[in-house]
Amino acid sequence: MGAATQAFLEMLAAERGAASNTLAAYRRDLEGAEELIGDLAEASREDVARLAAAWADLAPATVARKGSALRQFFGFAVDEGWRRDDPSRALPSPRTRRPLPKILSHADVERLFGRAELEAQSGKPAAIRQLALLELLYGSGLRASELVSLPLSAVPRDAPLLTVIGKGGQARMVPVSERAREALARWLAVRSDAGDAKSRYLFPSRNKHLTRVRLFQLLKELALRAGLDPAGISPHVLRHAFATHLLEGGADLRVLQTLLGHADISTTQIYTHVDAARLVALVNARHPLARGAS
């Protein structure tokens, strides 16, 4: 890997607070490009244009991701004075349609929670923890990584808000519903019985915290017991359900952007795929001219 490329990765880590998985993905994409056209700091526009043929058999989303990594690198190289030109325009720009997120129906959510609440009645710490995790995923729209790494100190005492550290180390406040607060109180009452009582994490596991992989597994297993297709259940699907169901209830898109921790409103706009019939009914019921005609 070239010195400029390494410096770019170090910048991502130091200035943008990029996570290790993100850095690894950038490294793979940049190293792959350098294997094809050489040192990116010295690659010509013609060299960069050759990548289109090399990436021809890749999925459009993969090409878009690789191109994004290189565009950011070239911009950085120009800013640092390592290049006089930015050859990014020579990169292929596949047009990809962003897929709509998978969501759960209200009935599916009720079945999932019904099963979790039934199992929590056993008083077993694992079942109570499961309910608390579920309540925070769907009730507060947390990312899986944000949820499992919550420190014990983040649990609200009086204010119904939770402090979350999101992507890039950005902190935000998210609401905690009454149901979630009750589930958290039940979990805290038995948390010491689950081991790692001295851990600083809300959901401790093996001297650290519950992993995202284990959270994923727990939800799949719960879905199966609830009679739902496990393939349609994941932490991210519950986050999608949180966002979509709030929009259906009339939530403002800007408010939703804040709750989800999106830096760009365009990311939040993917959730505007609400039922067309509901929107028509809303216009007919709320528009001034519609009311005047009735």
User: Who contacts 163 (Cβ-Cβ below 8 Å, separation ≥6)?
Assistant: 154, 171, 172, 173
Annotated catalytic residue, options 65, 124, 220, 236: 236
A 10 A CB-CB count for 192 gives: 11
Question: Does 198 participate in catalysis according to the annotation?
Answer: no
Separation of alpha carbons 180 and 73, rounded Å: 43
Contact 120, 130 (CB under 8 A): yes
User: Who contacts 153 (Cβ-Cβ below 8 Å, separation ≥6)?
Assistant: 200
Question: Does 138 participate in catalysis according to the annotation?
Answer: no
Question: Does 65 participate in catalysis according to the annotation?
Answer: no
Annotated catalytic residue, options 186, 191, 245, 262: 262
Annotated catalytic residue, options 129, 209, 239, 245: 239
Q: What does 20-84 look like in DSSP terms, one character per residue?
A: HHHHHHHHHHHHHHHHHHS-TTT--HHHHHTHHHHTTTS-HHHHHHHHHHHHHHHHHHHHTTS-S
Question: Does 236 participate in catalysis according to the annotation?
Answer: yes
3-state secondary structure of 92: coil
Annotated catalytic residue, options 167, 179, 214, 220: 167
Nearest Cα to 90, choosing from 47, 123, 137?
47
Contact 77, 8 (CB under 8 A): yes
Annotated catalytic residue, options 115, 143, 186, 240: 143
Burial string for 97-134 (b: 16+ CB within 10 Å, else e) reads: eeeeeebbeeebbebbbebbeebbeeeebebbbbbbbb
224, amino acid identity: L
Question: Does 273 participate in catalysis according to the annotation?
Answer: no
Which pair of tokens denotes residue 105? 């129906």
Annotated catalytic residue, options 26, 138, 201, 271: 271
Question: Does 271 participate in catalysis according to the annotation?
Answer: yes
Which pair of tokens denotes residue 284? 């007919």
Residues designated catalytic? 143, 167, 236, 239, 262, 271
